[in-house]
Amino acid sequence: SIGQNNGTLQGGTTFSAGIVGQCFTFDGSSGFIDIADTASMDFGTGDFTIAGWVRFPSLATVPDPGSSSSGSEEIIHKVVGLWPNDQTYFLEYTDGPAFRFMVHDTAANENDFTVAAPLAVGIWYHVAAVRAGNTNRVYLDGLLLGEQVAGSHANTGTGGIARIGRIAPNGIPGLTRFFHGDIDEFCLYSRALTSSDIQQIVCSPTLSIRVSQVELCWNSQSNGLYQVEYRSDLTTNIWTALGGQILATNSPTCTQDTVTSGQPHRCYRVVR
């Protein structure tokens, strides 16, 4: 819906209900998306961010036929040339459960970062992989899972082949790494998003609440009247009072917000 990076659905790729409208659903055995090559995906030695929502029907992965390595499922892979001197970047889900984020131009110059992730079946998660200089960072639901400094401005090249849901051909026979699950609102940014940037994406007004009641607690600095406020539109700075003022006489102070499925996601603040 944004930009010029059109893709072509291949194999067992279908649509189902997503975070916003419909999402891509991959069968884990034949489905993927070929992405048209455009210069906007050529990051070279520059910073960039991969971000999107993922959901897994199973946390188990299966190795590719003939491969002795642990199973991996490709979220996105872009490659120029052939391994081991291919220029590439990719984000994949792997055994652990974990996410693996790599930028690479030769076997001797790469940042290959794998970080464990606390995942569960059937839950939407926002994952973001940030390349900032020689640092790779991975975020889950806006929180930093970890980071690694390695390589020396690995050059991810220009042109080549890009795919969502399967590894792109890089000269290693037998590798497929089909993704099994759902991907939605998938984006590439030609800059390193900050933690604040990513948290604003996660706290989106288009998300649906999954719980019926939210408990809000805070540490009051002093006794007095406090007001809990919320907003569902991150494009404005308009806050709405949640009920009446609360007299805080100890710490922590808590209140609750009752919500229904399908309501816009809410961000909260407490003011005195």
Q: Which residue has the higher pLDDT, 238 or 63?
A: 238
Distance of CA 139 to the CA centre of its chain: 7
Please list, in sequence order, all residues whose beta carbon lies within 8 angstroms of the beta carbon of residue 222, skipping any fewer than 6 positions away: none
Name the band, by pLDDT with cuts 50, 70 and 90, for residue 14. Answer: very high
Q: What whole-number distance in Å separates Cα of residue 263 and Cα of residue 238?
A: 17
Task: Give the pLDDT confidence of 187-240 residue by residue, as tens digits.
Answer: 999 999 999 889 888 865 444 444 567 788 877 666 788 888 888 765 566 888
The dihedral of CA 119, 121, 123, 129: what is its sign?
positive
**What is the pLDDT averaged over residues 81-94?**
95
User: If you average pLDDT over every residue of the chain, what do you get?
Assistant: 87
**What is the pLDDT averaged over residues 24-29?**
94
Task: Give the pLDDT confidence of 32-53 residue by residue, as tens digits.
Answer: 999 987 899 999 999 999 999 9
Q: What whole-number distance in Å separates Cα of residue 244 and Cα of residue 222?
A: 18
Q: Which of 206, 235, 208, 222 lies closest to 270, judged by CA? A: 222
pLDDT of residue 174: 82
pLDDT of residue 70: 59
Q: Please state the φ and ψ torsions of residue 201, each to the nearest 5 degrees.
A: -65, -45
**What is the pLDDT averaged over residues 107-118?**
94
Name the band, by pLDDT with cuts 50, 70 and 90, for residue 73. Answer: very high
Task: Give the pLDDT confidence of 117-163 residue by residue, as tens digits.
Answer: 999 999 889 999 999 999 999 999 888 999 999 999 999 999 999 99
